[in-house]
Amino acid sequence: MQLNQETIINQDLKENIVIEEIKVFAPATVANVGCAFDILGFALENIGDEMIFRKTSTPGIKIISKGLGNLPTNPEKNVAGVVAIEMMKNEDSSFGLEIEINKKINPGSGIGSSAASASGAAFGISKLLNRNYSTHELIHFAMQGEKLASGAEHADNVAPAITGEFALIRGYHPLDMIVIKAPKNLYCTVIHPQIEIKTKEAREMLPKEVALKDAVIQWGNVAGLIAGLHQSNYQLIGRSLQDIIIEPQRAKLIPGFYNLKMAAMDSGALGCSISGSGPSVFALSEGIETANAIKAAFDKVYFDKGIDYHLFVSAIGKTGSRLIQ
């Protein structure tokens, strides 16, 4: 809609006119993927938030928060707002942005709740304003949101939330990100115990140094995992999905972690570990039948624990953030 003379005269009445509107799906993501701490993540197919972006006649950024999480609506305190502020620095200030977040991934879940909002915002604003930002530029914008949520500009959630598939972050100076297509029959099962673990706190508990012998085992596993994904070699993926450095530290934050892991492996999982900084736990499997069997096994472990939990089964997301109707 065009701004006409009357609209401008009536600006004082603060009638905020929507000029254009788009709707975006922003996926949940699993980062670290066992051994690949801070350098690898993948997108889930159908689990994620919905966001509506509106270009409005009144300058400024407005956040509307719906769904889970009771998120801050001050744009400086909401990751989507931080990304919007950064992107609006490149625009003239004759219009405003309204971002409605329909949060379906609980904040602090470990499946990239903040990353979904940050990536969805970078993607959505770029689309709404018809900007042709590259994938790397979108990731850089989204990383500003992650900085707010976790204190670090990490990309292992936001990159796959933008690209889909697996995203490998080889380095940051400059950002070197490689998309790795998931094997066709790879599925993920997630259990999300309804307890909150703040990424910031889960990072602070990690050791500052690791023994060389542990590092050798770990980077062997990372290399094996990447090769396994490339070759669609499920057995190699399974052998490589072992984290001897981070998981033993963070397992104590998750009630019954080793029971979940044992149940997943007994049900045929290729591997099972902590998603991001937890509390969500993920298992990868070949085929949806095994993924569903793992879901039932997780359910059994948590059934009488007295903690609420959510269970998901998903394919690996082929696309990251995307336009929806």
Q: What is the set of active-site residues?
A: 146, 199
Q: Which CB atom, from 78 or from 285, has the smaller least distance to ligand ADP?
A: 78
Query: Least Å distance between CB 261 and ligand ADP?
Result: 20
Angstrom distance (rounded) from CA 165 to CA 41: 8
Angstrom distance (rounded) from CA 122 to CA 144: 10
Contacting residue, 39, 84, 88, 101, with ligand ADP by CB under 6 A:
101
Q: What angle do CA 144, 131, 149 make, to 5 degrees?
A: 15
Query: Is 110 one of the binding residues for ligand ADP (CB under 6 A)?
Result: yes
Q: How far is CA 219 from CA 4, 15, 207, in A?
A: 61, 57, 17
Contacting residue, 24, 47, 115, 246, with ligand ADP by CB under 6 A:
115
Stretch 160-199: interaction string toward ligand ADP, x if CB under 6 A: --------------------------------------xx
Query: Is 108 one of the binding residues for ligand ADP (CB under 6 A)?
Result: yes
Query: Is 61 one of the binding residues for ligand ADP (CB under 6 A)?
Result: no
With CB under 6 A as the rule, give the number of residues binding ligand ADP.
20
- Which residues between 255 and 284 bind ligand ADP (CB under 6 A)? 276
Picking from 257, 249, 271, the residue whose alpha carbon sits closest to that of residue 186 is 271
- Which residues between 198 and 227 bind ligand ADP (CB under 6 A)? 198-199
Query: Is 78 one of the binding residues for ligand ADP (CB under 6 A)?
Result: yes
Query: Least Å distance between CB 64 and ligand ADP?
Result: 11
Query: Is 80 one of the binding residues for ligand ADP (CB under 6 A)?
Result: yes
Q: How far is CA 6 from CA 97, 132, 223, 272, in A?
A: 21, 33, 63, 61
Q: Which stretch binds ligand ADP (CB under 6 A): 70-78, 211-219, 229-237, 302-310?
A: 70-78
Query: Is 48 one of the binding residues for ligand ADP (CB under 6 A)?
Result: no
Contacting residue, 32, 56, 57, 117, with ligand ADP by CB under 6 A:
117
Query: Least Å distance between CB 109 and ligand ADP?
Result: 4
Estimate the crossing angle of helix 257-266 against helix 288-302, to 10 degrees: 150
Query: Least Å distance between CB 80 and ligand ADP?
Result: 5
Q: Which stretch binds ligand ADP (CB under 6 A): 5-13, 110-118, 286-294, 304-312?
A: 110-118
Give counts: helices (H), strands (E), the chain. Answer: 11, 11
Query: Is 114 one of the binding residues for ligand ADP (CB under 6 A)?
Result: yes
Estimate the crossing angle of helix 79-88 against helix 135-150, to 10 degrees: 130
Q: Give the HSE-up count for residue 40: Cα atoms under 13 Å, Cβ half-sphere.
A: 20
Q: Which stretch binds ligand ADP (CB under 6 A): 74-82, 132-140, 166-174, 308-316?
A: 74-82
The DSSP symbol for 280 reads -
Give residue 133's Cα distance to chain centre.
20
Tokens read off for 179: 């998309």
Angstrom distance (rounded) from CA 178 to CA 167: 6
Q: What are the DSSP calls for 157-218, one per residue?
A: THHHHHH-SEEEEEEETTEEEEEEPPPTTEEEEEEEES----HHHHHHTS-S---HHHHHHH
List interacting residues with ligand ADP (CB under 6 A). 71-72, 78-80, 101, 107-110, 112-115, 117, 149-150, 198-199, 276
